[in-house]
Amino acid sequence: MAKIMLASDYQEGAHPRIVERLVETNLLATPGYGTDAFSAAAREKIRAACHCPEAEVHFLIGGTQTNATVIDALLHSYEGVIAASSGHISVHEAGAIEFGGHKVLTLPHHFGKINASDLAVYCEENLHDGNREHMVIPGLVYISQPTEYGTLYSRAELTAIHDVCQRYQLPLYVDGARLAYALACPANDTMLADLATLTDAFYIGGTKCGALLGEAVVFPQGGRVPHFFTIIKQHGALLAKGRLLGLQFDTLFTDDLYLHIGQNAITAANRLRAAFTAHGYALAFDSPTNQIFLTLTADEKEKLDTVVESSFWEAPDTDHTIVRLATSWATPLDKVEQLIAALD
């Protein structure tokens, strides 16, 4: 049996409908830099899906790039961005935020999430007290939905964070690299329209959610960031053949594809979590979306390595390893069943 590849959720190409349309439109000549008709249509569909007709929508290429560009655009030069200590921008972006001149100010994470009360305490100390003029001024809050731990902010939690942000006049930005896996998750109650209502900016992930590449940045309030086009260019984040991004998001937002594309991943992940648990494997922590975290003994790891490609997460002690398995819109369910069978 060939190993099932679950090391990440960006291993396959694109959803078949996207590939079909790439083929159909390949030799059309369109203007560059996102001024094409596909991009315009995609923007319109995203606005509709977010119930936010005034939103400004831009297409960028990848997650780190999007975070660096949006965060730099939303901050003043002397401000930093608040994030969970486990946030992607805190740990896994090679210092892209600092490259733009900004400090990442970390809060403790609770399985990938920050909570509103920690945030309120931090803001009170850092924005309302005196004596902080020698410190970096917080200028933005960054969270991920789902988080890097596969966990979800409920609508109530997101609202509570939003309320703290409003109280301290801090913009809120949501990294939705895996947003489709939240939207397809039964446990989720945070919809696109909620993000549009509760945040100053968020991005709808394409790369990990059915596209070859691409992330759609949404500013619910149009005109929120003057000259954002030039800022994208300055960050090397402007795609010449922008139609490639427009066409993909147009497809993802046709017939609500984006709202459903994550279901296969959730089905597969739920099957796997149940099967691992039934077979005595320990979940490192619970997560409702497409990422599964297992705490393995050396023997368990050796066995699993023969049947599934996972990724290393961390070593909690010398006897155990935590690995991550990520399912996707493209994970073959028959291979999932073969893997489960191999656990016996």
Give the residue, chosen from 1, 54, 99, 277, that forms a contact with its own copies under the rule CB under 8 A: 99
Alpha helices in the chain (DSSP H): 16-25, 37-49, 63-74, 88-91, 96-99, 116-123, 155-167, 179-183, 192-198, 228-234, 243-252, 257-260, 263-278, 298-307, 333-342
Residue 277 C-beta: closest distance to its own copies, Å: 25
Residue 151 C-beta: closest distance to its own copies, Å: 21
Residue 42 C-beta: closest distance to its own copies, Å: 16
CA dihedral sign, ordered 74, 77, 78, 80: positive
Cβ atoms of 142 and 170 within 8 Å: the answer is no
List the interface residues with its own copies, window 125-144 (CB under 8 A): 131, 133-137
Q: Which residue, 65 or 254, is less far from its own copies as judged by CB?
A: 65
Q: Which two tokens stand for residue 168?
A: 């301290």
Cβ atoms of 179 and 172 within 8 Å: the answer is no
Binding status of residue 169 toward its own copies by CB under 8 A: no
List the interface residues with its own copies, window 204-263 (CB under 8 A): 207-208, 212-213, 226-227, 229-231, 233-241, 243-244
Residue 282 C-beta: closest distance to its own copies, Å: 22
Binding mask 8-47 for its own copies (x = CB under 8 A): x-xxxxx-x--x--xx-xxxxxxxx---------------
The vertex-229 CA angle with 223 and 235, nearest 5°, equals 125
Q: Which residue, 10 or 202, is less far from its own copies as judged by CB?
A: 10
Q: How does strand 79-84 pair with strand 104-107?
A: parallel
Instruction: Report the C-alpha gap between 119 and 285 in whole angstroms.
Output: 23
Instruction: Report the C-alpha gap between 208 and 212 in whole angstroms.
Output: 8
Residue 95 C-beta: closest distance to its own copies, Å: 4
Residue 331 C-beta: closest distance to its own copies, Å: 9
Q: Which residue, 38 or 258, is less far from its own copies as judged by CB?
A: 38
Residue 111, number of CB atoms within 10 A of its CB: 16
List the interface residues with its own copies, window 258-317 (CB under 8 A): 312
Give the residue, chosen from 39, 42, 58, 72, that forms a contact with its own copies under the rule CB under 8 A: 72
Give the residue, chosen from 47, 57, 58, 80, that forms a contact with its own copies under the rule CB under 8 A: 80
Instruction: Report the C-alpha gap between 38 and 253 in whole angstroms.
Output: 12
Residue 261 C-beta: closest distance to its own copies, Å: 14
Binding status of residue 108 toward its own copies by CB under 8 A: no
Residue 155 C-beta: closest distance to its own copies, Å: 29
Q: How many residues belong to the site for its own copies (CB under 8 A)?
A: 76
Backbone angles phi, psi at 6, to 5 degrees: -125, 30
